Amino acid sequence: MADEITDIWVYLATSPLLSLTLTLVAYQIVLEVWTRIGRPALLNPVLASVLIIVAVLAATGTPYDTYFEGAQFIHFLLGPATVALAIPLYRQFERIRANKLAIAASLVTGSVTGIATGLGLGALLGLDRVSFVSLAPKSVTAPVAMGIVERIGGLPSLTAVLVIVTGIIGAALGPAALNAIGVTDAAARGMAMGVGSHGIGTARALQESEAAGAFSGLAMGLNALATAILVPLAFALFS
Amino acid sequence: MLRALTAIFACQLVGEALVAASGLPMPGPVIGMALLFGFFVARGGIPAPIASVGDGLLGNLSVLFVPAGVGIMQHAARISSEGVQLGGALVGSTLVTIGVTGLVMKFFMKPDGRAKRKRTDHG
């Protein structure tokens, strides 16, 4: 009996379906609980799902690569979802066009602030060189951040994790921070979430309103471009 | 639904191809977003099937980040040695970035009120 279970486990563990299902089930359980307790921003569903899955993988001795063979099908949909951000963008186009100057100004200051404070704090806290470099583009969407870090000599897989953690921090703490400093307008909130915490911030902004989501999606795309120019420039100038 | 998915994938594919050909420091899907946006503008609206597939994807955007987030387990050693410093730098920098961006945007924004919402058409 125990042998049979082991056999079934060995078979399933090599099938992509197991980690695919694990990811969906963990997330839906988290979402259900999170909705019941009133969707507090502070308890981020991505973080909770990640922790559950890491615990399951650690308990079963499953390496990340095996997990990702199945989970990649979910990961893949990030691309099409990014394309789909054209929908809120189009619906809010009038409002975006009316605020071109404000978008440009907040993009540039926000992007510079993100890079400068990240590197400044990293240096201040004595991060080692690899962590320091890998941290630089943390506020932009993972594929771009990884591409940037590759060019300046960091560790792309570490960057991917720092990017996700940045997104979770922004989604969890950003709305409260914006409340505290009196930023109430949906467009300004969305812009801030998108520049500071890319797609995870955008997912959170979309939960606030479609307008916030549209500005956040736009900000995320623009900041990917700004950061891809600014980070290599900063490293060329200062190191 | 199939045509809507095809349209979205095609935009991403063309976006990826343009990035590969031009060496632009942008992710392919962001170019794809711009292409789909251009399509909506040319058409004067969002076809209902694309709106429904897209809203479905965006309504579940959070779950799509979970697989990459689980990658944190690959860096357990670094996180046990430098986790506090990394966390501190990320929290501090992210909050300041969000705050500064929000305040600058608020400062330069025109007063709201004439924002009109574009309608989804049914094509």
Name residues 3-22 of chain A within 8 A of B (Cβ).
Answer: none
**pLDDT confidence of B112, banded at 50, 70, 90?**
low
Please answer yes or no on whether A113 and B75 come within 8 Å at the CB atom: no
In chain A, count H helices and then E strands: 13, 0
**pLDDT confidence of B28, banded at 50, 70, 90?**
confident
**pLDDT confidence of A239, banded at 50, 70, 90?**
low
Q: Which residue has the higher pLDDT, A12 or A110?
A: A110
Among the residue ranges A141-145, A215-219, B12-16, the one predicted with the least confidence is A141-145
B44-79 burial string, b = 16+ CB within 10 Å, else e?
Answer: eebbebbbebbbebbebbbbbbbbbbbbbbbbeebb
* For residues A131-139, average pLDDT: 96
Among the residue ranges A11-20, A98-107, B41-50, the one predicted with the least confidence is A11-20
Asked if A170 and B98 count as a contact pair (C-beta separation under 8 A), the reply is yes
What pLDDT is recorded for position A181? Answer: 97
Look up residue B34 and give its two tokens: 């711009």
Interface test with B, best of A20, A32, A82 (most B CBs within 10 A): A82
Query: What average pLDDT does chain B have?
Result: 88
Please answer yes or no on whether A80 and B104 come within 8 Å at the CB atom: no
> What gap in Å lies between CA A228 and CA A224, rounded to an integer?
6
**pLDDT confidence of B118, banded at 50, 70, 90?**
very low
ipTM at complex level: 0.90
Name residues 153-182 of chain A within 8 A of B (Cβ).
Answer: 157-158, 160-170, 173-174, 177-178, 181-182
Q: pLDDT tens across A169-195, in order?
A: 999 999 999 999 999 999 999 999 999
What pLDDT is recorded for position B115? Answer: 43
Please answer yes or no on whether B65 and A167 come within 8 Å at the CB atom: yes
**pLDDT confidence of A134, banded at 50, 70, 90?**
very high
Chain B residues near residue A201 by CB distance under 8 angstroms: 98
pTM of the predicted structure, to 2 decimals: 0.88
The dihedral built from the CA positions of residue A100, A103, A104 and A106, taken in this order, carries a sign that is: positive
* For residues A134-156, average pLDDT: 91
**pLDDT confidence of A11, banded at 50, 70, 90?**
confident
Chain A residues near residue B18 by CB distance under 8 angstroms: none
Chain B residues near residue A181 by CB distance under 8 angstroms: 99, 102-103
Look up residue A48 and give its two tokens: 């909770």
What pLDDT is recorded for position A225? Answer: 86
Look up residue B63 and give its two tokens: 């779950």
Reply yes or no on whether the pLDDT at A24 is more than 50. yes
What pLDDT is recorded for position A60? Answer: 93
Three-state SS string over B36-88 comes to HHHHHHHHCCCCHHHHHHHHHHHHCHHHHHHHHHHHHHHHHHHHHHHHHHHHH
Q: Which residue has the higher pLDDT, A9 or A123?
A: A123
Chain B residues near residue A56 by CB distance under 8 angstroms: none
Please answer yes or no on whether A99 and B110 come within 8 Å at the CB atom: yes
Reply yes or no on whether the pLDDT at A101 is more than 90. yes
Query: What average pLDDT does chain A have?
Result: 92
Reply yes or no on whether the pLDDT at A1 is more than 80. no
What pLDDT is recorded for position A149? Answer: 92
What pLDDT is recorded for position B117? Answer: 45
Residue of B nearest to A68 (CA): B67
Please answer yes or no on whether B95 and A173 come within 8 Å at the CB atom: yes
> What gap in Å lies between CA B95 and CA B77, rounded to an integer?
26
